[in-house]
Chains A and B, each alone.
Chain A
Amino acid sequence: MDKIKINFTLNGAPVTAETYPNKRVVDLLREDCECTSVKEGCGEGECGACTILVNDIPVTSCLMLAGQIEGDSILTLEGLAKDGELDKLQAAFLEAGAVQCGYCTPGMILSAKALLLRNPHPTREEIRRALSGNLCRCTGYTKIFRAVDMAAGN
């Protein structure tokens, strides 16, 4: 098996990765790019812990092969804070206490980020739908929804 070269943008910076094609995007990001905020939960697209944004759209990175992101712009949680300032979603999650064990948090924040990018003031129902692909096994949903509300200025 030959290695393949993948060019993509990671958190705003151009990256060229050389890796084996049987690697998934979640493994590429964690092992080759040090983006360990990308969590693997179920490994079959059910839990949303590995959610990343590809061209501002949330996807589960455990269901993608590394070569599929050629030319794409990837955002992980590492790319959210700017100049030492937390993103308003991160700040809101802290403020609302929307973190229990924390494992689902990066995926939750990125799904919420994608929502706010296309809809800055979502209703509670829109927030619930946008986060329906992210499971919190601590079941802390109420505070998570409240945090997204806060970040949206609702």
Chain B
Amino acid sequence: MRAFNFYTPKTLAEALELLAQYKGSATVAAGGTDIVIELKERRRNTDCVISINKIKELRYCEVAAGQVRIGALTTFSDLENNPYIKDKVKGLHSCCAHVGSPQIRNLGTIGGNVVNCSVAGDSPTTLMALDASVVLRSKAGKREMKLTDFYADRKKTRIAGDELLTEIYFDAPAKGVATATMKLGKRKALVIVVVGLSILVEKDDSDSITRAQVVVGGVSPKPARLPKVEEYLIGKPVSKNTFAPCAGMLSDIVGSMIPTRASMPYKREGVKGVSDKTFGRILVDFGLGEGGC
């Protein structure tokens, strides 16, 4: 690891002051699970590391005024053990519970995962399906944007050098909303995403689908919303028969997204099973099935 100066701000204000001082040349470490490896392997070189893991005010998960607000330093373990997330936002719960390993979930933060925007990251896909927004703060002020706008390209976000991502928020799932996420990896623990799928479905009282947000991860530089699948679902009844054709649609889409990638044949097949299981969980969440379609 190259030499760098190290700061441990205790408050958000101190952190923003340091970021302003270094004018974008500082590296921010939240949990550190990605950054420490990058520093060690010299894939990232920096004059200054600002470790924000002691800023207590950025570690929270609260539900108020119809929104779920999650502080950037909330760990995956915090979210995995949060009764509200477990009960009401099953898609996010399942995502958090399958990140890395217990040790990594204890360190890794949702804010760090979002800013690091790995192609094979866990939470961006799920948060995009929840149509989440991010709050960015700097000494100069605050801005907010949708996560879909936050990601510019592969490993590139629209965060400015003096900004800190402080919060992620999304609409609290209302009655009639179900969410589900599934990650296909090489085994259960300690794996990156091969194909990830996250879905939000809203239905009306007659079980007809009024909103669908379908996001696939691991097959493009940033997670991708799939309008074709979403449009197909709108207006149809929530049922096994409605969801079953999504597997084929997803398979075609994945094939066309990464036509030249060596892993394409595997991912194209794999996503079919992922589709069946994820939509199966939506049925279970609605109390309409036992899983699988």
Chain A contact residues, CB within 8 Å of chain B: 1-2, 4, 20-24, 43-46, 48, 51, 57-60, 62-65, 67-68, 70-71, 111, 129-130, 132-135
Contact = CB atoms under 8 A, between A and B. Distances in A.
Interface of B: 1-6, 8, 29, 31-33, 36-37, 39-40, 49, 51, 53-54, 77, 100-104, 106-107, 188-190
A63 B36 contact: yes
Contacts of B1: 22-24
Contact of A132 (B39, B54, B102, B107): B102
Given A44-B37, A58-B106, A64-B32, A133 B2 contact: no
A63 B107 contact: yes
Contacts of A46: 101, 190
Q: Is the interface of A mostly helix, strand, loop or mixed?
A: loop
23 contacts: A2-B5, A20-B3, A21-B5, A22-B6, A44-B37, A45-B101, A45-B103, A45-B104, A46-B101, A58-B106, A59-B107, A60-B104, A62-B36, A63-B32, A63-B33, A63-B36, A63-B37, A65-B29, A67-B6, A68-B32, A111-B102, A130-B102, A134-B101
B51 A133 contact: no
B206 to A, nearest CB: 39
B103 A64 contact: no
A117 to B, nearest CB: 13
Nearest to A54: B106
Contacts of A45: 33, 37, 100-101, 103-104
A133 B8 contact: no
Contacts of A130: 102
| Residue among B32, B49, B51, B188 with most chain A CB within 10 A | B32
A111 B8 CA distance: 27
B3 A58 contact: no
B54 A51 contact: no
Please provide the 6 A-B residue pairs with the shortest distance between their CB atoms, ordered closest to farther. A133-B101, A21-B6, A1-B3, A132-B189, A22-B1, A60-B103
A24 to B, nearest CB: 6
B102 A1 contact: no
Nearest to A57: B106
Given A59-B103, A68-B29, A133 B6 contact: no
